[in-house]
């Protein structure tokens, strides 16, 4: 029996990858990593701040399609998919990165805040994945990578809607897998640990909280965004074809301590 595995299985060269919310934060890191590895990118963004990823992709000569929209709206989700197919004819992978977080005490957390977080972190992931999976079924292949969290495992502090949404992302990853794996569609999630981003600046500025977190990370430091991106690139590649339904912690060992 021939053993077929080779280094090309790790390649994402010329793969068409949709990344939501990839003009800033961790999404920007995922986009840069995929660009460096030769992928073609479709980036969904809510605001107009896209210069950094545009310049990065231009320097790399990466084929890039930018689609502005609100992923909580069906029309904008449909526009994203339609424009991706129009330009590239197919979709190899979807990275559901877009998300938001609101910090309020649980006894004061408003319905408005709850709905805002759930709409983008859970509902948009569900509806966009469903639409893209329909295309992937027709193609006969595809990969969906969700972004879970350490709060897919824990309760968190002052972030009840975010915690609920990230538990939901983990559950949806498994639910999609049970029905889509037979169509050669792999659905997985990564759970980033504590990463140096704008969203975590307030925590890092709190000396006591920062120290308590560092004491729980065996690696001894907060992650740089690029230290998280490798898992996304891997899950977009053929090397991950028999991985499905996994929630992979990328956390410097945080969950082990």
What is the C-alpha to C-alpha distance for residues 135 and 44, in angstroms, rounded to an integer?
18
DSSP state of 225: H
Rounded to the nearest angstrom, the gap between the alpha carbon of residue 163 and the centroid of all alpha carbons in its chain is 16
Question: DSSP labels for 140-189?
Answer: T-EEEEEE--GGGTS--SS-HHHHHHHHHHHHHHHHHHHHHGGGTEEEEE
* pLDDT score, position 217: 98
Given strand 93-96, what is the order of strands in its sheet? 64-68, 40-45, 16-20, 93-96, 142-147, 185-192, 247-250
Per-residue pLDDT band at 103 (split at 50, 70, 90): very high
User: Regarding predicted confidence, which is higher, 242 or 1?
Assistant: 242
**Predicted pLDDT of residue 227:** 98
| Contact (Cβ atoms closer than 8 angstroms) between residue 22 and residue 93 | no
Distance CA 37, CA 57 (A): 11
Give which of 17, 132, 16, 114 is closest to 71, Cα–Cα. 132
Region 93-122: mean pLDDT is 98
The pLDDT tens digits of the residues spanning 141-190 come to 999 999 999 999 999 999 999 999 999 999 999 999 999 999 999 999 99
**Average pLDDT over every residue of 181-202:** 95
Q: Torsion over CA of 148, 154, 159 and 162, rounded to 10 degrees?
A: 20
Tokens of 252: 């410097």
Residue 105 CA to residue 94 CA, distance in Å, equals 33
Rounded to 5 degrees, φ, ψ at 64 are: -135, 135
The CA distance from 248 to 231, in Å, is: 8
Asked whether residue 1 carries a pLDDT value surpassing 80, the answer given is: no
Q: Using one digit for the tens of pLDDT, what is the confidence trace for 173-186?
A: 999 999 999 999 99
User: Which two tokens mark 110?
Assistant: 């408003």
Mean model confidence pLDDT for the chain = 97
Q: Taking the domains of the chain in order of start, what are their residue ranges?
A: 12-254
Per DSSP, 10 falls in state: G
pLDDT of res. 39: 99
What confidence score (pLDDT) does residue 13 get? 99
Average pLDDT for residues 229-237, to the nearest whole number?
99
Give the Cα separation of 205 and 241 in Å (integer): 40
Annotated catalytic residue: which of 141, 162, 183, 242? Answer: 162
Question: 12-254 maps to which CATH number?
Answer: 3.40.50.720
Check residue 70 and give its pLDDT: 98
Examine the residue annotation and report whether 162 is marked as an active-site residue of this protein: yes
199 pLDDT tier (thresholds 50, 70, 90) = confident
In the prediction, which pLDDT does 198 show? 84
pLDDT at 97 over 90: yes
Does the structure show a pLDDT above 80 at 191?
Answer: yes
> What would the pLDDT profile of 45-95 be if each residue is shown by its tens digit?
998 899 999 999 999 999 999 999 999 999 999 999 999 999 999 999 999
d(Cα 28, Cα 64) in Å, to the nearest integer? 13
């Amino acid at each position: 029996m021939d053993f077929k595995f080779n280094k090309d299985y790790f390649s994402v060269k010329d793969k068409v990858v949709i990344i939501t919310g990839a003009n800033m934060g961790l999404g920007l890191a995922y986009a840069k990593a995929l660009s460096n590895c030769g992928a073609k990118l479709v980036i969904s963004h809510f605001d107009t701040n896209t210069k950094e990823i545009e310049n990065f992709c231009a320097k790399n000569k990466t084929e890039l399609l930018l689609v502005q929209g609100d992923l909580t709206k069906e029309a904008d989700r449909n526009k994203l998919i339609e424009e991706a197919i129009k330009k590239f004819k197919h979709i190899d992978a979807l990275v559901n990165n877009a998300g938001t977080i609101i910090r309020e005490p649980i006894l004061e957390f408003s319905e408005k805040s709850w709905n805002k977080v759930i709409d983008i972190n859970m509902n948009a992931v569900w509806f966009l994945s469903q639409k893209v999976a329909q295309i992937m079924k027709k193609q006969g292949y595809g990969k969906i990578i969700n972004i879970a969290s350490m709060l897919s495992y824990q309760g968190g502090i002052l972030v009840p809607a975010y915690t609920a949404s990230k538990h939901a992302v983990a559950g949806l990853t498994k639910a999609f897998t049970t029905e889509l794996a037979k169509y050669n569609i792999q659905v997985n999630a990564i759970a980033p640990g504590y990463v140096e981003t704008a969203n975590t600046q307030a925590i890092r500025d709190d000396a006591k909280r920062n120290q308590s977190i560092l004491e729980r990370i065996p690696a001894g430091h907060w992650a740089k965004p690029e230290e998280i991106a490798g898992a996304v690139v891997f899950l977009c590649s053929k090397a991950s074809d028999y991985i499905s339904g996994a929630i992979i912690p990328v956390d410097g060992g945080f969950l082990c301590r």
